[in-house]
Amino acid sequence: MDALEALRTRRTTQNYQPSEIPQEILLTALETALYAPNHRLTYPWRFVIVGRETRQQLKEQAKQAKLQTRSTPASPEELAKLDQQLSEKLLYPAAMVVFCCAQSKDPVRQREDYATVACSIQNFSLALHAMGYGSKWGTGDLTTAASTYQLLGIEREQHEIIGFVWVGQPEGAIPRPKRPDLHEVLQTLP
Ligand SMILES: Cc1cc2nc3c(=O)[nH]c(=O)nc-3n(C[C@H](O)[C@H](O)[C@H](O)COP(=O)(O)O)c2cc1C
């Protein structure tokens, strides 16, 4: 797959088949993440590959967090449904990689370092796509929870979680969100 094709055809994979991925493929894609542009060569990266045992613990934490938001106890059917939903989300993908950015007291450096990590996630996703795997950049409650930082051994004062990136074989159709027409967003100056 050439670069233009990869850029145009990569899509976010929402749903995954229960699947595995060879470690070499994951590491190759992570190496490409390090080729993202990085102003002042600050090397703000930290990547955490989260294995199945830890993902199982994450699932339990997510389940407890969901149950705590309820005003009435969940029925056995509701519990089974929640368990299935969380398994599909947290256990089915072949891999889960947490992309973190070093914290900085300098807001300009923080913003530029975030940009580097964001570019790294795109590199990672494109590399995986070129090697036949889908991925998804996820944010949301689980990525900001204190319990997640603790479970993953990430010190919030040192690193910020920028995204959970899920990797694996897609299940079902992949939505292809529309993009704006180039001319709606392009301004050309003389
Ligand atoms: C910063 C960022 C955070 C995202 N967080 C989520 C998320 O929490 N859940 C989700 O389903 N997709 C998430 N996405 C993926 C976007 O929803 C997705 O890129 C968008 O719908 C366009 O689809 P495409 O990637 O297939 O082009 C995120 C993307 C970015 C850049």
Residue 15, helix vs strand vs coil: coil
* pLDDT, mean of residues 120-124: 98
> What is the tens place of the pLDDT at every residue in 139-151?
999 999 999 999 9
137 lines ligand 1 (CB under 6 A): yes
pLDDT at 1: 79
Within a domain: residue 50? yes
CA of 172 to the centre of ligand 1 (A): 18
Q: Residue 16 pLDDT more than 90?
A: yes
> What is the tens place of the pLDDT at every residue in 22-31?
999 999 999 9
Q: Look up the CATH number of the domain holding residue 12.
A: 3.40.109.10
Within a domain: residue 181? no
Q: Name the pLDDT band for 120 (thresholds 50, 70, 90).
A: very high
Judge whether 92 and 18 are in contact, CB under 8 Å: yes
Q: Whose CA is nearest to atom 28 of ligand 1?
A: 137
CA of 12 to the centre of ligand 1 (A): 7
Within a domain: residue 117? yes
Which of 136, 142, 179 is the best mutation target for the ligand 1 pocket, counting ligand atoms within 8 Å of the beta carbon and taking the most? 136
Within a domain: residue 10? yes
Query: Based on the structure, what is the number of domains in the chain?
Result: 1
Within a domain: residue 183? no
**Residue written as tokens 């509701």?**
78
**Residue-range definition of the domain harbouring residue 123:** 3-68+80-170
